[in-house]
Amino acid sequence: MSDRPGVVGQSVVGTKDVREFFRELLTSAQQHQRIKVHEETEFYLVNLLDTFLSTDSLYEPSPDGTMSREPLTVLFARALAEPKERKVQTLRKLGDTSLFVSGFFSDSLSRSLVDVNYYVSMGGRAYGHLQSMLGDVRFAELAQKFDRIVDLLSEVSERTHVTSNRGLLRLYERYVRTGSEHLADLLVDKGVLPKSVGKKWFMQ
């Protein structure tokens, strides 16, 4: 399975409808992390994951023929100068890209010049502007709960990528760095950590 953002291995797709697959994973993540998003927001997230299965959704062709991802600050600056219809499209692209990359492929950010907090900040601002312009409940929730929704997508990523010892090692390294409770629970489920390192560990 490739580590490049936007590439999802065929094991994710299988024989089950992709959108239903991601909907089930999102539902499970919400139950596990005790967070609930509106049905409209959940539907939006499922479509977002389905859309970003293709690298074309993350990358734009450059003049030299290569594919690259436009910097978020450039997208944001362009959006502010555009007429409303184009502004909505650009802000949505900014928010969606920020959410997908920071949630589903956050490991790639450890090798880049910017960290996940940058993506969270830019994505939250983009959705906030969309909510102000459109009054859409989905964008309001995405802006207000951006970091929590990143955690939901992160769990979806973990559950679809932890299929090998290498994947378990990467998951354990992320747990050591962050002390994340839901990462600890996943490692307990995989038999990597003892049950004593569950939620009680983080309450001590």
Give yes or no: residues 66 and 94 share one domain: yes
Give the model confidence (pLDDT) of 127-144 as tens digits.
999 999 999 999 999 999
Higher pLDDT, 53 or 150: 150
Whether residue 190 is predicted with pLDDT greater than 80 in this model: the reply is no
pLDDT-derived band of residue 197, with 50, 70 and 90 as boundaries?
low
Same domain flag for 77 and 175: no
Instruction: Please check whether residues 24 and 81 belong to one and the same domain.
Output: yes
DSSP assigned state of 196: G
**Using CA atoms, how far apart are residues 35 and 147, in angstroms rounded to an integer?**
12
Taking the alpha carbons of 130, 133, 138, 140 in that order, is the dihedral positive or negative?
A: positive
Cα separation, 180 vs 164, in Å, equals 21
Q: What average pLDDT is seen over the chain?
A: 78
- Burial class of residue 105, CB neighbours in 10 A (0-12, 13-18, 19+): buried
H or E segment and range at residue 88:
helix 84-104
Residue with token string 């299929």: 163
Domain of residue 89 covers 12-161
- Indicate left, alpha or beta for 67 from its phi (over 0: left) and psi (-120 to 50: alpha): beta
pLDDT digit string (tens) for 47-63?
998 888 654 666 666 66
Q: What is the pLDDT of residue 4?
A: 43
Residues 98 and 170 in one domain: no
Q: Residue 102 burial by CB count (10 A; 0-12/13-18/19+): exposed, middle or buried?
A: buried
User: What's the total number of domains in the chain?
Assistant: 2
